[in-house]
Amino acid sequence: MKLRIGHLSTMYHTSFILMGTDWLEKAGIEPEWRLFGGGPAIVRALESGELDIGYIGLPPTMIGIDRGMQIKCVAGGHVEGTVMIATPEFLTLEESKNDATLFLNQFKGLKIACPPAGSIHDVIIRNFIKEAGFENDIDVINYEWADMIPEAIADGEIKIAVGTPPLAIVAKRCCNTKLVIQPEKLWPDNPSYGIIATVDLIENSSGTLPNFIKLHAKACDYISENIEEASRLVADTVGVVDADFVRDVYEVSPKYSAGISENYIASTMRFVDVLHELGYVSGKLRQEDIFDLYFVKELQL
């Protein structure tokens, strides 16, 4: 069966493992991969019927569900995939005594680059700034394609950014930036991505969806257990980076699992109030509105 899959350039996602192997094809799945600039764009493609599943952070998914979309998270993938980077002159959060107010004070009057509005990175950084009382002093600038952010740093347009581990490694190599907040410090256990499926696929996929989830889980384990092999495979699949780069990306935030843990759910539900406060959703979403746990339970993930 054909499966239309939306994915990002985020190379620690299992999409690149599955693209670089024949696992899906051997399971009778004919994948049709489509690359997008951010999670919100994948949500729009799911809404228009162009995709069956997507690799998305949970906040964009929740925004879509609030708008009435028939989609749900059917598997996890990774947690704590948002990092903050800056040019060398700035202090890290640890050097600021883990004091968010002291840390953010050094960025007053500056701009923080971020992936698209409504992405998990956007929600996390806006909430972080708001909780510390700097929402009127620090601007968040959203880029439709996160891959444009290192270029903006290199051109001197910006000095601070939030985004994925690959962004951190690219910017470190090209622009001499450094991590100023580790991924576990911005939002513990945040659901950086999950596998989002249309309700139509969930109800009518026969064995296609569970087979995909099973192979997605296999790929998550492959990354965790065979990081050197996985790094080489993804580097060969992507074609523009080396295996050392991929390994560095994996090691920035090494929490990979296709399961949907209680912590994953709890962290996701913390976003409900934040999304409402930021004006991204109009109502209060429930766990059952967001998750369908049938497959992860059946597959014992």
CATH number of the domain within which 180 lies: 3.40.190.10
Residues 183-208, mean pLDDT to the nearest whole number: 93
Contact 286, 124 (CB under 8 A): no
Q: Given pLDDT bands bounded at 50, 70 and 90, which one contains residue 276?
A: very high
Contact 87, 114 (CB under 8 A): no
Same domain assignment for residues 53 and 134: no
State residue 284's pLDDT score: 86
Same domain assignment for residues 73 and 193: yes
Residues 209-220, mean pLDDT to the nearest whole number: 98
Q: Is the dihedral of CA 40, 43, 45, 47 positive or negative?
A: negative
Q: What is the dihedral of CA 291, 297, 298, 299, to 10 degrees?
A: 100
Of 161, 186, 211, the residue that ends a domain is 186
Structural domain for 26, as ranges = 2-80+189-298
Same domain assignment for residues 206 and 66: yes
The tally of domains found in the chain comes to 2
State residue 37's pLDDT score: 87
Per-chain mean pLDDT for the chain:
95
Q: Which token pair is 155?
A: 């051109």
Q: Given pLDDT bands bounded at 50, 70 and 90, which one contains residue 101?
A: very high
Of 186, 206, 224, the residue that ends a domain is 186
Residues 138-151, mean pLDDT to the nearest whole number: 92
Same domain assignment for residues 50 and 91: no
pLDDT 10s digits, 221-230:
999 999 999 9
User: What are the start-end ranges of the H helices in 180-225?
Assistant: 183-186, 199-204, 208-225
Same domain assignment for residues 131 and 274: no
Same domain assignment for residues 291 and 193: yes
Same domain assignment for residues 201 and 105: no
Same domain assignment for residues 181 and 123: yes
Same domain assignment for residues 181 and 224: no
Same domain assignment for residues 242 and 229: yes
| pLDDT more than 70, % of the chain | 100
Does pLDDT of 205 surpass 90? no
Same domain assignment for residues 172 and 241: no
Does pLDDT of 243 surpass 90? yes
Q: Which token pair is 263?
A: 């912590």
Distance in Å from the first CA to the final CA of the chain: 24
Same domain assignment for residues 76 and 196: yes
How many DSSP H helices and E strands does the chain contain?
A: 16, 10
Q: What pTM did the predictor assign?
A: 0.91
Picking from 173, 117, 174, 126, the residue whose alpha carbon sits closest to that of residue 146 is: 117
Picking from 63, 78, 71, 65, the residue whose alpha carbon sits closest to that of residue 6 is: 71
Of 186, 209, 225, the residue that ends a domain is 186
Q: Given pLDDT bands bounded at 50, 70 and 90, which one contains residue 196?
A: very high
Does pLDDT of 259 surpass 90? yes
What are residue 142's DSSP bridge partners?
114
Contact 86, 37 (CB under 8 A): no
State residue 147's pLDDT score: 85
